[in-house]
Amino acid sequence: MTGLTPSMSFPLHGPASPACEAPNVQPTFVAADAEACRLAAAVGRGDEGAFRELYDRYHARLFRLAVVLAQGNEPLASEVVQSVFVIAAGKLGKVESEAHLWNWLARVARQQLARTRRQQQNTAVVGVAELPECAADGELDSVLEQNLDAALLALAADERQLIEWFYFDGLSHKEIAAQLAATPKAVSSRLERARARLRIAITRIRSRET
């Protein structure tokens, strides 16, 4: 599976309005919120190190969300996540908290999924200019992540381990093969079967909610 790497280059931008300039910061402004604010502002200024940090911190969680949104279609989920980080490199700026940052990323993922599907249907797409300044879908995101957890639990333990190793831990077929004392080809076949069952499990769980 090919994907965006943390070392990707992205366009540098001109001076951006400093984020998080809040002179009256409340004592409840926790460290995680301050860190998210710093990180988003640095990415907005074109700081490549901050972009790699953003990627490392949110890639796995975004992919988990995208897998559910795409109903188990991993190639589509991967494409969506790549798009999110490309857009974040050019559009991310001021945020107010860690939850605000995550909600922004998650909303962009939803819009990019809708855009990809509309492109496939040759209809109008969502433009980058329409991306939100803020989103409030944290509760929905939590439900979707719970959907994925439930779908994973519906798999056999060995299939669940394969999915987690490959998609969430980033291990290659060769590395997984070494863990299992198997061949990369055998791992590929087993992973394909696990993916198929995961797609079925996600579809069943989502269908019960509608």
Q: What is the pLDDT of residue 139?
A: 53
Q: What is the pLDDT of residue 86?
A: 93
Helix or strand run (H / E) with residue 102: helix 98-120
pLDDT in tens, 138-182: 555 667 677 777 888 888 999 888 888 887 777 889 999 999 999
pLDDT in tens, 23-62: 454 444 578 889 999 999 999 999 999 999 999 999 988 9
Q: Let me know if 135 is exposed, middle or buried by CB neighbors in 10 A (0-12, 13-18, 19+).
A: buried
pLDDT in tens, 83-124: 999 999 998 988 889 989 998 998 899 888 888 877 766 544
Helix or strand run (H / E) with residue 88: helix 74-91
What average pLDDT does range 184-198 have in this prediction?
88
The Cα-based distances of 121 to 70, 72, 107 in angstroms read 16, 20, 21
Among 17-21, 40-44, 79-83, 194-198, the range scoring the smallest mean pLDDT is: 17-21
Q: Which domains does the chain have, with CATH numbers?
A: 30-136 (1.10.1740), 154-210 (1.10.10.10)
Instruction: Kindly report whether the global pTM for this prediction surpasses the value 0.75.
Output: no
Q: What is the pLDDT of residue 140?
A: 57
- Band of pLDDT at residue 125, cut at 50, 70 and 90: very low
Composition of the chain by helix, strand, coil, percent to 5: 70, 0, 30
Q: What is the pLDDT of residue 40?
A: 93
Q: What is the Cα–Cα distance from 59 to 100, expressed in whole angstroms?
A: 16
The Cα-based distances of 192 to 73, 81, 122, 188, 195 in angstroms read 12, 21, 30, 6, 5
| Whether the predicted pLDDT of 2 surpasses 50 | no
Q: What is the pLDDT of residue 186?
A: 92
Return phi, psi of residue 3, to 5°. -155, 170
